[in-house]
Amino acid sequence: MAVQTLDRGATDAAAAGAAPAPGASLAHIPGDNGWPILGHTLPLLADPKGFVERRAKMYGPVYRSRAFGFVSIALLGPEANELVLLDSRKVFSSRLGWGMILERLFPRGLMLLDFDEHRLHRRALSVAFKSGPMQSYLAELNAGIAKGVARWPRGRAFKFYPAVKQLTLDLAATAFLGAEIGPEFEAVKRAFIAMVAASIAVVRAPLPGTQMGRGVRGRALIVDYFNRQIPLRRERGGEDLFSQLCRATWDDGSLLSNADIADHMSFLMMAAHDTLTSSLTSFVYRLAANPDWQEKVRGEQRGLGLAVDEPLPFVRLDDLPLTEMAFKEAMRLAPPVPSLPRRAVRDVEFMGFRIPAGTDVNINPLYTHHMPQLWPEPERYDPTRFAVEAARERHKFAFVPFGGGAHMCLGLNFAYMQAKCFTWHFLNRFRVSIADGYRPDWRMWPIPFPRDGLEVTLDPA
């Protein structure tokens, strides 16, 4: 791979997070800055996938563009993903990349920490994702999903996306915060929704009446809730994720501070919520549009030999390879995090281009997942691409819905577990279909979702 760091150490400006003046030191990178003021913001928003594909055709896999007032360099393809995600020379800051979007509302979440500090926090949190706690979360997911899907209407068209969004939020309440959260949940839920909406708001100042204003108020409420709950959770225990973090320790055995727990909890809830909603929505759409695969997946679930209303046992999660392949293929076509931002804190070279310290860069799972060299007939839904043999032959960074390297999604196993648990309860009860010729329009960025909510019909399976 044509990669080399120009090891002059991080400059003061880069370490402080300053980006180079728009376009100035990047004139040697192919590309342009687009229209005055707006740059490429509008075409990027209108068609994020087409925009990147057009520019890759025009300029190649390393190009410069300007959107939302910032010049950045796109690094496309599996080699670029490997360079940025593995980051063996500690060149790419996740904090400075995600900071502009997430810092105000989700400060000091794992993606907002870098290098050694990040490693310490990640190690402290990972206790909450070990198999013991995961089994307790699965028990909550089983109960919550069975109850939730039982309420969905049958025999008429209904909008799947808002329904599964609500379900995911309710599941977060029990698996993340504990079943006994009680009446405060409605306020916590509203606050959380306001924070997530604000993180991608165009107006970044927390002015009254703006999304950011509501988001900042939401954060204050949630932090207050966590602060009040931490001593109670430590006293009475509990198997939910919040209670796990209340007991989590640093390497020296001391407990995490209240502020750390509050920051990590809000970040975890945010990281889980829209990604699960998006991936389950595109999964159900693909199953509805590909009834042959829906039958295969249902057949695999029934082959477990469990009664229809039994919970899915933790020990059977690995017995669902077709379900996993079908879910992966849905995430290939619509990765819930379509692009990942970083900022270089040292000079680095990639494919012969020098990328100076302070440059904002982006890698792009959405683009990589549609490269015809890696995925023949890329628009076709074909879960057999994830059969063990086929997967072994592909570049390790060709499929990156969960990122990779130090910041690889900490909730990856949780996500697969929830997807399998959802599929178990959903396909056991329902046959899902869409109207003939229906092709919902997806907004692919910042997180893919069907603009019309995805109309499906559920009939008894």
| Contact mark string toward ligand HEM, 405..434, x via CB under 6 A | --x-xxx--xx-------------------
Distance from chain centroid for Cα 300: 27
Contacts of 148 (CB under 8 A, 6+ apart): 166, 167, 170, 171
Q: Which residues contact 135 (CB under 8 A, 6 or more apart)?
A: 314
- Cα separation, 22 vs 149, in Å, equals 50
Q: Which residue is nearest to ligand HEM (CB)?
A: 411
Which three-class secondary structure state does DSSP give residue 288? helix
**Closer residue to ligand HEM, CB minimum distance, 71 or 110:** 110
Q: What is the DSSP letter of 340?
A: E
User: Which of residues 214 and 407 has its CB atom nearest to ligand HEM in the complex?
Assistant: 407
Q: Which is nearer to ligand HEM, 43 or 312 (CB)?
A: 312
What is the smallest separation between the CB atom of 401 and ligand HEM, expressed in angstroms?
5
Only segment of 185-193, 196-204, 274-282, 353-361 that touches ligand HEM (CB under 6 A): 274-282
Q: Work out whether 261 is an interface residue with ligand HEM (CB under 6 A).
A: no
CB nearer ligand HEM, residue 142 or residue 279: 279
- Binding to ligand HEM by residue 133, rule CB under 6 A? no
Q: Does 275 engage in binding with ligand HEM (CB under 6 A)?
A: yes
Q: Give whichever of 96 and 111 is closer to ligand HEM, judged by the CB atom.
A: 111
* Tokens 């577990």, residue located: 417
Nearest to 268 by CA among 139, 149, 172: 172
Part in contact with ligand HEM (CB under 6 A); list of ranges 186-194, 268-276, 289-297, 453-461: 268-276
Binds ligand HEM (CB under 6 A): choice among 146, 276, 322, 421: 276
Give the orientation angle of helix 291-302 with respect to helix 258-289, to 10 degrees: 120
User: In terms of C-beta density within 10 A (0-12 exposed, 13-18 middle, 19 or more buried), how is residue 171 classed?
Assistant: buried
Number of H-type helices and E-type strands within the chain: 17, 13
Contact segment (CB under 6 A) with ligand HEM among 50-58, 64-72, 144-152, 402-410 equals 402-410
Nearer to ligand HEM, 214 or 343 (CB): 343
Q: CB-wise, 370 or 407, nearer to ligand HEM?
A: 407
Verify cis geometry, omega within 30 degrees of 0, for the bond prior to 153.
no
Q: Encode burial over 396-422: b for 16+ CB neighbours within 10 A, e otherwise.
A: ebbbbbbbbbbbebbbeebbbbbbbbb
Q: Is 124 in the site for ligand HEM (CB under 6 A)?
A: no
Q: Judged by CB under 6 A, which of 122, 217, 431, 443 binds ligand HEM?
A: 122
Amino acid (one-letter) located at 326: A
Q: Would you give the binding string for ligand HEM spanning residues 69-108, x where CB under 6 A is met?
A: -------------------------x--------------
Site map for ligand HEM, 299-338, x if CB under 6 A? Answer: -------------------------------------xx-
Contacts of the segment 36-43: beta carbons below 8 A, 24+ positions apart? 39/65, 39/66, 39/67, 39/68, 39/69, 39/71, 40/65, 40/66, 40/67, 41/67, 41/68
Comparison of 386 and 414: residue with beta carbon closer to ligand HEM = 414
Q: Could you tell me the smallest distance in angstroms from the CB atom of residue 74 to ligand HEM?
A: 15
Amino acid identity of residue 154, one-letter, is: R
- Residue 74 or 214: the one with the smaller Cβ distance to ligand HEM is 74
Q: Please, which residue, 206 or 399, has the CB nearer to ligand HEM?
A: 399
Tokens of 214: 């509501």
Q: Could you say which DSSP state residue 369 is in?
A: T
Q: What is the separation of C-alpha 209 from the centre of its chain, rounded to a whole number of angstroms?
A: 28
Alpha-carbon distance of 23 to 7, in angstroms, equals: 23
Q: Which of 78, 403, 448, 450 binds ligand HEM (CB under 6 A)?
A: 403
Q: Which is nearer to ligand HEM, 414 or 442 (CB)?
A: 414
* Backbone φ and ψ of 31, nearest 5°: 135, -175
Residue 381 three-state SS: coil
Candidate list 102, 271, 287, 355; residue touching ligand HEM; CB under 6 A: 271
Q: Which two tokens stand for residue 362?
A: 């982006």
Q: Is 279 in the site for ligand HEM (CB under 6 A)?
A: yes
Binding site for ligand HEM (CB under 6 A): 94, 110-111, 122, 268, 271-272, 275-276, 279, 336-337, 340, 401-403, 407, 409-411, 414-415
